Amino acid sequence: MSATPVPKALTGLDHRIEAAVGCSVDTLWEHRDRGLLDKPLARLADAHRALAAAETSVAFYRVLLHRLASGEFPVDTALFGRIGRTVDQLEQAAAARDERYAGVLAVLEPVEVAARSQTPSEETDLPARDIAALLAIARGAKLHEHLLTQRLSVITASGARVGYEQLQQLEQAGLLERDAAHPVHAGQPVTLTDAGRSALAGTRRPQTTGTGRPVPQVGEWPAAAHSRH
């Protein structure tokens, strides 16, 4: 039987991270797993994962200490020993949590500064059609030439096709690049640039409605269920 996944722990920095990157921390983790983040956001995702693991450890020992003191076990020397060990483990887990909290702050603050300094002209506002193409290409794609018609098109790992005209537009926008070392008849690998990955990662600060609630961004993946909360 496979182990049950441990829910991500809520951290005290989740809301700041989400405000800075423009998406939920669940989505940030998903984009990290897909290799869609630039280096600053990848470091932030990794640091947040470490902090979430530390928060989970703190919660585990706190619950264990509560159980030991709940009256479920006889009060004897063995219980005192277990309580003492658990208190030590909780203290060590809290110290590790505080260290990782500081680590998240160290990589989060530059991201916040960059988000605050971002101007409207720097924001990416891609049509849903282009977002869909980038998402498909991010999973693996090659440019092929049809043997009979000589028509060029991108075939993605999922079997979707992206027209050559759209490929050129995305290339000119600096979102895609081709590996010209491979001949077209054999398939030229097409990959996202850092700018393309950033566009998918939703690095813009989210716009808000009059109620202050974020407006969903075009092409943004739905956030995973918040089991952390």
For the chain, the structural domain boundaries read 14-117, 128-201
CB 112 within 8 A of CB 42: no
Backbone angles phi, psi at 189, to 5 degrees: -60, 135
CB 153 within 8 A of CB 161: yes
Residue 214, pLDDT above cutoff 70:
no
C-alpha distances in Å from residue 52, one per residue of 112, 168, 229: 20, 41, 12
Q: Determine which of 73-77, 101-105, 119-123, 201-205 has the lowest per-residue pLDDT on average.
A: 119-123
For 12-41, the pLDDT digits (tens) are: 888 888 888 888 888 899 999 988 888 999
Look up the pTM and report it. Answer: 0.54
For 57-71, the pLDDT digits (tens) are: 999 999 999 999 998
For 157-198, the pLDDT digits (tens) are: 877 888 888 888 898 888 899 888 888 877 889 998 888 887
Query: Exposed (0-12), middle (13-18) or buried (19+): which is 12, by Cβ within 10 Å?
Result: exposed
For 102-153, the pLDDT digits (tens) are: 999 999 999 888 877 764 444 456 787 888 888 888 888 899 887 777 788 8
Tally of CA atoms within 13 A in the half-sphere of 118 that contains its CB: 19
